[in-house]
Amino acid sequence: MIQFAANLTMLFNEYPFLDRFEQAAKAGFTAVEFLFPYGIPAQDIKAKLDQYHLKLVLHNLPAGNWDGGERGIACLPDRIEEFKAGVSEAIRYAGILGVGQLNCLAGKVPSGVDHAELHRTFVNNLRYAAAELKKANLKLLVEPINQYDIPGFYLCSTQQAISIMDEVAADNLFLQYDIYHAQRMEGELTNTITKYKDRIAHMQLADNPGRNEPGTGEINYPFLFRFLEKLGYQGWVGCEYKPASDTLSGLSWMTTQLK
């Protein structure tokens, strides 16, 4: 049985953030994920998780000035100390919130920086983060993101991510496989998932085009869900999509697409 987690950054966003936990529980979710917890005291989030008996399955490391358009800092040579401080803050939140894995966003390629330096910075930062997270018994994830939605994003394919993971060589470093981003950049969903099934710790979904709920686009989600069950995928699947209308109406896919 596939385990779905509500992405509270995208779903129920018609409500204030701390009210979304109740809405997720009412909709039948037992787990949630979100991009960042850092603007809210960790104890306030923990109280909501406990109140509604929800498991937190993922959040990201700090990713720079998100509202200003940054999408991660892990590949940026001039932000290494900020990255390391963010790792410490993420581990502190994770300890309070009970999450077992944290995602690292690589960031966008800045102009005028040599590719080799970006690569070296990213690899070294991942080695540092993986080592620090391992002390806290946490997994570190990396996520390729399509360059149509985020032009210039450094980590943009599964193979690139796997190659970097091999170079980092940390046993707690895994792939976060976002079905939507993978479909936009490379397709070959089931073959890729099969090939790297032992290295995928978390998945996310949305349909394409539009990044709306399953059933609104070209991805054959009924086939894909049956495939994941047959494969024996044990991780969570985060519902990180933009509802085509309101969140509750959009959840009808959970009956129509799971047949």
Active site amino acids: 143, 240
In angstroms, the CA 120 to CA 127 distance is 11
Rounded to whole angstroms, how far apart are CA atoms 44 and 42?
Answer: 5
